[in-house]
Amino acid sequence: MITIYHNNRCRKSREGLGILERSGKPFEIRKYLEDTLSESELKNLLSKLGIKPIDLVRKNETIWKESFKNKDLTDAQVIKAMVDNPKLIERPVVINGNKATIGRPPEKILEII
């Protein structure tokens, strides 16, 4: 099953959702700001993406700038920051089985569906 981690207020996330809708393939939407990720879910997502936690952070978010920027954080601390502040998670993220991608640009989603 394909899953999109979606924030409807984000234009890129809406574009990614449109790509999935046009694909005709079944998928589910996870509104990760409401249905937040646990630490283990986030670690699993990072593993599928094949990236370090810092690479999933939205570094222009006010929360990041005010609380975390220029600090020497461990991977575990970055993960905790994203679990505690899901707005910090880059979007959209799409998972298809053991593959995942950050939909930036949204067309990257096509590579895994």
Long-range contacts of 53-60, Cβ-Cβ distance < 8 Å, separation of 24 or more: 53/78, 53/79, 53/82, 54/78, 56/82, 56/89, 56/90, 56/93, 56/102, 57/81, 57/82, 57/88, 57/89, 57/90, 58/87, 58/88, 58/89, 58/90, 58/91
**Annotated active-site residue in 2, 10, 51, 54:** 10
Q: Would you call 60 a catalytic residue per the annotation? A: no
Positions marked active-site: 10
